[in-house]
Homo-oligomer: A and B are copies of this chain.
Amino acid sequence: MTKTPAYHHGNLRQALIEAGAQLIEIKGVSGISLREVAKQTGVSHTAPYRHFKDKNALLAGITEVGFAQLAGSLQQVMIENPNAPKDQLIEAGVAYISRAIQNKQMHNLMFGGAWKLSNDEELIKQTSDAAFNGLVQIVKNGQQAGVFKKGDARVLALTAWSLVHGYAMLASTSQLSHLAASEDSILELARTAEVHLIEGLEK
């Protein structure tokens, strides 16, 4: 016999987040309920309140794993394209867009504004800021290498970030069907769009 067999198998908080992430990909962000996440996890519908202040906090918890995964993808792009600011910028964008269309619901949860960031979710703000600062660093490196034009690196980074952000949104809500259908052609088109922008950023 083990010691106190624990009311639930180990870490309920983690289990709820995982069940929520799965459920969201099936039923969509607006189709998810605290009660169903609890049921899927095998606990009563009030158990989640031991680990999350309210439904919003659970959504924030799910979002956190999404941001962590995104940060990992971007990190990898940086490593795979050393000392190549232009490639880094383009491939970071492509990686971001690729993630968005492969995890539409998670992306919508992360950026769709369905839940509100409270002061508790400092972690998400940090991750998001870190991602942006990474982008700024790419631009600065490019400026020093003489491939990007001078100017406030944060503004150039914001411009690139906006383009990718908007494109990902259009792609993940299927608004590009006239111009590109398959995932490959969507990413191909994204590269073209980024090249157009980069020609504006070049010196």
Contacts and interface: CB of A to CB of B under 8 A. Distances in A.
Interface of A: 30, 108, 111-114, 128, 154-156, 158-159, 161-170, 172-173, 175-176, 178-179, 189, 192-193, 196-202
A189 B152 CA distance: 11
A75 to B, nearest CB: 21
Contacts of A167: 158, 162, 165-166
A167 B157 CA distance: 12
24 contacts: A108-B113, A111-B173, A112-B112, A113-B173, A154-B178, A155-B189, A155-B193, A155-B196, A156-B196, A158-B179, A158-B193, A159-B163, A159-B192, A159-B193, A159-B196, A161-B170, A162-B167, A163-B163, A163-B197, A166-B167, A196-B197, A199-B199, A199-B200, A200-B202
